[in-house]
Amino acid sequence: MSQQIVIWGIMNGAIYAMLALGFTFMFGVARVINLAQGAFFMVSAYFMYIFISLLQLNILLSIALTTILAGAIGITVYQLLIRRIEEYHGAVVLVTVAIALVLQEVILVIFGGEYLSTEPFIPGAIIFLGIDIRYQYLLSLGVVSACLIATGVLLYKTRTGLAIRCVAQDREIANVMGIDVEKTYLIAMGLGAFLAGVAGALIVPIYTLSPTMGWHPLVIMLAVVVLGGLGSIKGSVIGAFILAFVEAIVVFLVPMGSFLKDAIALAIVIAVLLTRPEGLFGISFEEERL
């Protein structure tokens, strides 16, 4: 029981962390509330399915191709649609929902509504402290940690990262300082979708695929982002693991837990927000303070 809680907590936490980090990039830098993040995740899972099961490619090559394609989708969506209506926030939210629907329906038309699943990438497991951990989970954890470290390096050690952080703080001043704001938005959107792609690629052998699989992670991801504090990178990672463990504990220990897991997770988020309105690690933006 407890080992399952630990494994599910870590696995789901890693997935939610990737999604939430991507959302944080898009929201913090480009100010886009991207409700299509769940759909990006779903589409990447299907890309991974195509590469691994239908084309029989190498695992790492498939992951790389999937994530690059996901990033390309993010950039295309921003360039073609969101950019033209940027100043109307409501319209942007609506367009991301419509994009999510379009992706979902396209996948539904191509693959049909039935559930798909694949063999684990690497079969087998090791036993560590009495818990048997499948190699599959270790691979996922490895890729997620690599992505987290790479994101950290990109943000805090490179000039591009500096530009991203500047634009997130104040886009006008950043513009005055000679930072190409539009390019930074594109990078942030691409990076956000790329991270959703990582999450989508890693869950292929663990979850079953269906065109509507993106909505539940989307809701939990939004809760994670609020819990951790909007725009906070540390907050979205830590919040993801907190909520994933709460979910795992509720599912395994509370009666009727699988019905109540979302309700309890979201109730915790609301309780946190009531005591700390800016989330756990929130940076309260000027316009949201009163």
Q: Of the ranges 77-85, 121-129, 182-190, 201-209, which one interacts with other proteins (CB under 8 A)?
A: 77-85
- Which tokens belong to 3? 């080992």
* Chosen residue from 111, 215, 241, 252 binding other proteins by CB under 8 A: 215
Applying CB under 8 A, does 283 fall inside the site for other proteins? no
Which tokens is 68 given? 């690059």
The one segment of 136-144, 162-170, 202-210, 279-287 that binds other proteins by CB under 8 A: 279-287
CB of 112 to other proteins, least distance (A): 10
Residue with the two structure tokens 């690059």: 68
Using CB under 8 A as the binding rule, whether residue 104 contacts other proteins is answered as: yes
CB of 238 to other proteins, least distance (A): 17
| Residue 205 vs 282, nearer CB to other proteins | 282
Does 149 engage in binding with other proteins (CB under 8 A)? no
Please report how close the Cβ of residue 105 comes to other proteins at its closest, in angstroms. Answer: 4
Q: Which of residues 219-258 bind other proteins (CB under 8 A)?
A: 219, 222-223, 225-226, 230, 256
64, 68, 93, 148: which one binds other proteins (CB under 8 A):
93
> 209-233 burial string, b = 16+ CB within 10 Å, else e?
bbbebbeebbebbbbbbbbbbbbbb
Binding to other proteins in span 117-146, by CB under 8 A: none
DSSP code per residue over 88-114: -HHHHHHHHHHHHHHHHHHHHHHH-SS
